[in-house]
A and B are shown apart, each in its own frame.
Chain A
């Protein structure tokens, strides 16, 4: 167990060190969420088109935009694996004395590291646009933890996709096709109650919905009524994804 934790931490450290040497990707990936906030957020705040329970619309979607950013980083993390597969890196990692669970969780959580950095870039922009966060450090840290953990689950999903598809081109296609439905069929941009019934059903099975709810409660509304459910769903999702990804991981190098 201790060994596994060590492997996971080593892989997260690897991600930080890579980021330190090449920050351009962090900035380019920040453009999209910032645009969402600046354009979509401010416009819809003005026209009050969507009922958000008294919360300004831009405040309402800030957690959604953060999670979109997290989702993006996590789902495209599989690309890193495809690249590592084409080089000999994955082969070498699989020959190291680390359990494949540790390897898979370590690689997944590496995407969490990147995701948190993206979120930390979005926050000052949101503040500039007048979004009011709940000034409670414990809530803030809890929200970051949720973002970190859900990112791991989505990255594991991406590993599963990568181990099935194996090439960059095929992966890009599916990756994009995964992100948008997950994003739109969730409560990231509008309350579930506003959706058509069928979409509501999809949203109920979408782990992103629970993550958005938890982060929105912790950062913006303070409504934590569903937090235990959110945490339970996210934990279940992560464990399921880690388990399946661990099983499919070896396939990626065959």
Chain B
């Protein structure tokens, strides 16, 4: 099976010796929506620009559908669409004209050109503003126009560098509905970078996290969240006393990672709350400890990001992790 993207040991050192990529190995399956996450300066844009043949890697190799991005750049450019992080439309012509010029540069047959352009405008919801100068467009309209430009040739793979940066929630949903429909209708592979975890969570088939030029983890959003082994069950107790014997028994349970008592709450970190809860309840009941309230929290992709991208590492418990997965579960992550 040829991967849509396959890289081995990809390195990029910019002039001035900034090592933006420090050996990236990555496989992206054809037809997947793939999210690339990472803090500012992690190397997302650099990776994307190498994959879209804008410059060569310092070492290592990368293939797009089996085509080498360095030696077969011209072939690669025929099968990719790209939306850069910065705005990339001409603002002093209208939306239709932007698509028209790209259609001509890409050599769309003149007979069907107009139809293809209007179909694209229609499907991106830009038909009504097609005749307006782009300088009068909103940020969301510009992003949609850029995606329309990139999709004009029905690329096999679409590279999107922060496609929804600065868009309001409604516009983001609209953009993602389109991208998802491209995937379903044409089997387009979508490779995108983002700082919005909810987006990666909701729309991607796979997620990878890059930090200081290295891939630190990858998998489906579910797998990554699960890999934290950090679901938290919080028991509010009517009585402060939890004897050591009971605590010991809870700790001894299978699937329980850590147990902490504070005042009248008992915090139990487990791999999977649904399966672990009955066992813990049994122990509490047999120790005659009565529970007033039970709440469970699952880790979000934010937690995954914070863990792997290291922003919060060592800086004490941050507000967002509420001390939950830090420390206790940290030592026994999968792999």
Report how far A234 CA is from B80 CA in the complex, Å.
38
Asked if residues B54 and A22 are in contact (CB atoms below 8 Å), the reply is: no
Which parts of B65-109 form the interface with A (CB within 8 Å)? 74, 77-78, 80, 82-90, 92-94, 97, 101-102, 104-107
Residue-wise, chain B 141-165 has the 8 Å CB interface mask toward A (1 for contact) of 0000000010000000000000000
Residues of A within 8 A of B92 (CB): 18, 21-22
CB distance from B95 to the nearest CB of A (A): 12
Report how far A86 CA is from B85 CA in the complex, Å.
11
Nearest B residue to A106, CB-CB: B105
Residue-wise, chain A 144-161 has the 8 Å CB interface mask toward B (1 for contact) of 000000000000000000
Residue-wise, chain A 231-254 has the 8 Å CB interface mask toward B (1 for contact) of 000000000000000000010011
Q: Does A204 contact B (CB under 8 A)?
A: no
Residues of A within 8 A of B86 (CB): 86-88, 91
Given A17-B93, A97-B78, the answer on whether A88 and B88 have CB atoms closer than 8 Å is: yes
Nearest A residue to B150, CB-CB: A92
Q: Does B52 contact A (CB under 8 A)?
A: yes
Given A7-B105, A96-B77, A97-B78, the answer on whether A91 and B93 have CB atoms closer than 8 Å is: no
Main secondary structure of the interface of A (DSSP, over half): helix
Which parts of B53-73 form the interface with A (CB within 8 Å)? 53-55
Q: Does A1 contact B (CB under 8 A)?
A: no
Asked if residues A18 and B80 are in contact (CB atoms below 8 Å), the reply is: no
Nearest A residue to B149, CB-CB: A92
CB distance from B233 to the nearest CB of A (A): 47
Asked if residues A97 and B106 are in contact (CB atoms below 8 Å), the reply is: yes
Asked if residues A89 and B90 are in contact (CB atoms below 8 Å), the reply is: yes
- Select one of B55, B80, B94, B106 contacting A250, CB under 8 A: B55
Report how far A14 CA is from B101 CA in the complex, Å.
7
Residues of A within 8 A of B54 (CB): 91, 94-95, 250, 253
Residue-wise, chain B 25-59 has the 8 Å CB interface mask toward A (1 for contact) of 00000000000000000000000010011110000
Residues of B within 8 A of A7 (CB): 104-105
Asked if residues B101 and A87 are in contact (CB atoms below 8 Å), the reply is: no
Report how far A162 CA is from B97 CA in the complex, Å.
26
CB distance from A4 to the nearest CB of B (A): 11
Given A6-B107, A87-B87, A88-B84, the answer on whether A95 and B74 have CB atoms closer than 8 Å is: no
Number of interface residues of B (CB under 8 A): 31
Chain A: interface residue count, which band? 20 to 34
Given A89-B89, A92-B88, A97-B77, the answer on whether A17 and B97 have CB atoms closer than 8 Å is: yes
Q: Does B133 contact A (CB under 8 A)?
A: yes
Residue-wise, chain A 184-207 has the 8 Å CB interface mask toward B (1 for contact) of 000000000000000000000000
Report how far A10 CA is from B55 CA in the complex, Å.
25
- Select one of A3, A14, A87, A254 contacting B93, CB under 8 A: A14
Residues of B within 8 A of A254 (CB): 15, 55
Given A13-B101, A88-B84, A88-B85, the answer on whether A96 and B90 have CB atoms closer than 8 Å is: no
Residues of A within 8 A of B101 (CB): 10-11, 13-14, 17
Asked if residues A10 and B105 are in contact (CB atoms below 8 Å), the reply is: yes
Residues of A within 8 A of B74 (CB): 97, 99
Residues of A within 8 A of B83 (CB): 88, 92
Report how far A177 CA is from B2 CA in the complex, Å.
54
CB distance from B147 to the nearest CB of A (A): 12
Residue-wise, chain A 62-87 has the 8 Å CB interface mask toward B (1 for contact) of 00000000000000000000000011
Report how far A92 CA is from B78 CA in the complex, Å.
13
Residue-wise, chain B 185-212 has the 8 Å CB interface mask toward A (1 for contact) of 0000000000000000000000000000
- Select one of B88, B90, B94, B104 contacting A91, CB under 8 A: B88
Q: Does A164 contact B (CB under 8 A)?
A: no
Which parts of A1-58 form the interface with B (CB within 8 Å)? 3, 6-7, 9-11, 13-14, 17-18, 21-22
Q: Does A98 contact B (CB under 8 A)?
A: yes
Asked if residues B93 and A88 are in contact (CB atoms below 8 Å), the reply is: no
Could you list 13 further interchain pairs (A-B, Cβ under 8 angstroms) beyond the known A96-B106, A97-B106? A7-B104, A10-B101, A14-B93, A17-B101, A21-B93, A87-B87, A88-B86, A95-B53, A95-B82, A96-B105, A97-B77, A98-B105, A254-B55
Chain A residues near B (Cβ < 8 Å):
3, 6-7, 9-11, 13-14, 17-18, 21-22, 86-89, 91-99, 250, 253-254
Chain B residues near A (Cβ < 8 Å):
15, 49, 52-55, 74, 77-78, 80, 82-90, 92-94, 97, 101-102, 104-107, 133, 149
> Could you list 23 examples of A-B contacts with CB < 8 Å?
A6-B104, A6-B105, A6-B107, A11-B101, A14-B90, A18-B90, A21-B93, A87-B86, A88-B84, A88-B86, A88-B87, A89-B89, A91-B54, A92-B82, A93-B105, A95-B52, A96-B77, A96-B105, A96-B106, A97-B78, A98-B105, A250-B55, A254-B15
